[in-house]
Amino acid sequence: MKERRQYLFIDFEFTMPERNIRTKDFFAEIIEVGIVAVVDNEVKEQFSSFVSPRKYPKLSERCKSFLHISQLQVDKGLSIYELVKKLEEFNKSHYETTIVTWGNMDMKVLRHNCLEAGIAFPFNNGKELDLSMEYKRFFGDQNQTGLWKAVQEYGKEGTGRHHRALDDALTTYNIFKLVEKDKRYLEKPEPTTIGDRIDFSKLLNEFA
C-alpha cells in the first residue's frame, strides 16, 4: 500500500529584544504558531495558538508593536511543552511527512527552544523544506525573497495579515502550490523527432 503524503506548512512568530538594548543570554522564543496540514493535496486541518515564552515571559514593547500581539495573549497561550506535544500529534508516523517553512529560522528557533526546555525535537523523522530557498533556486534570484513579496511577484496577495502565524502558514501553502504548478509546466516535454519538426509532405510537394 502506498504511503500517504503529508505536508505541514508551519509558521512561528518569535520574541524580540528592545532595539539597542543588550539583554544577557537573550534568545528568540516562539510566541505564536500556525499550522496547515495538507494530506494528498487536500487541507485536512488548520491550527493556530499563542505560546507563552518560558525563559523571558515579558514581551518587549518592540515585539508587541511589530507583531500586534499583547502580553495577555501570550500569557494565556500554550507552554513550549504543550506546543511540542501538539507538533508531535501532527507528525503522524503513518504519513510520509514534509515540514515546509519560509526560511530556516522557524526550525532553528524550535530546535533551540526544545534544547533550552530539555525536550526532544518533534520532527526528527520528517523531511524539511525551506520554500524560500526553493523559490530562490527556481527563479534564479540572487537574494532570498520575503514571503509576502514572493506572493505579490506572482500577482497574488497574502492571506490575512502578514506576521500572523496562521496567515503566513496559509500564504506559504499558496506559494508552494504556485511553484509546484510552474515546475510541472516547465518540465521538459518528450524530445521531438525530425518528423515532428518538418512536414515532409509539404517539403516533397515543393520539389515535385
**DSSP secondary structure of 98-123:** EEEESSSHHHHHHHHHHHHHT---TT
| Cα–Cα distance measured from residue 95 to residue 109, given in angstroms and rounded to the nearest whole number | 24
| CATH code: domain of residue 83 | 3.30.420.10
Kindly report, residue by residue over 38-82, the tens digit of the pLDDT: 998 899 999 999 999 999 999 999 999 999 999 999 999 999 999
Whether 91 maps to a domain, the answer reads yes
Class of residue 144 by CB neighbours under 10 A (exposed 0-12, middle 13-18, buried 19+): middle
Around 114, how many Cα atoms within 13 Å sit in the side-chain half-sphere? 17
Whether 197 maps to a domain, the answer reads no
Q: What's the domain count of the chain?
A: 1
Whether 28 maps to a domain, the answer reads yes
Kindly report, residue by residue over 175-184, the tens digit of the pLDDT: 999 888 877 7
The boundaries of the domain holding residue 124 are: 4-186
Whether 58 maps to a domain, the answer reads yes
Task: Verify whether residue 13 is a known catalytic residue.
Answer: yes
Whether 206 maps to a domain, the answer reads no
Whether 116 maps to a domain, the answer reads yes
pTM greater than the 0.85 cutoff: no
The residue from 88, 112, 134, 163 that is catalytic is: 163
Whether 150 maps to a domain, the answer reads yes
Task: Verify whether residue 163 is a known catalytic residue.
Answer: yes
Kindly report, residue by residue over 156-195, the tens digit of the pLDDT: 776 667 779 999 999 999 999 988 887 776 665 555 555 4
What is the pLDDT, as a whole number, of residue 195? 47
Whether 126 maps to a domain, the answer reads yes
